[in-house]
Amino acid sequence: MKASFNILTGAFALVGVAATISSLATTALAHGQGKEAMISPVKAMSIAAAKTGGKAAMAIYEFDDGHWIYGVTVVKNHKLLEVEMDPATGKIGETESVTPAGEAKEMQSELSTLAQ
């Protein structure tokens, strides 16, 4: 049990570092386009945690399917969920189960696109 927790923690930490970089980049792009979130990432995490009954780990402000959202990662029952949220209203959109490996792959793709 402890070994699997350490692996999850390590993978989650790597995703967190990549997410922070991506968050800064997407926020910078958003501000350049005159788009700003009306609720803070901390507030988004609080809303997602309350809605799912889990513990929010991070919130990423990202451009998804043509609009800006918060992607909030929540841990519940030893599983990861990603909760999409409207940054202007705090309204919850889709919620899906995710894995550290899947999130890392997605983040790698996003960072590669930014670097081009």
Cut 0.85: pTM above it: no
Give the DSSP per-residue string, 38-71: SS-HHHHHHHHHHHHTSEEEEEEEEEETTEEEEE
Domains of the chain: 2-115 (3.10.450.40)
Tokens of 3: 């070994």
Give the model's pLDDT for residue 23.
52
pLDDT per position as a tens digit, 71-112: 999 999 999 999 999 999 999 999 999 999 999 998 899 899
pLDDT per position as a tens digit, 9-51: 554 554 554 455 455 544 544 444 445 658 999 999 999 999 9
Higher per-residue pLDDT: 14 or 115: 115
Contact in structure between 55 and 75 (CB atoms under 8 Å): yes
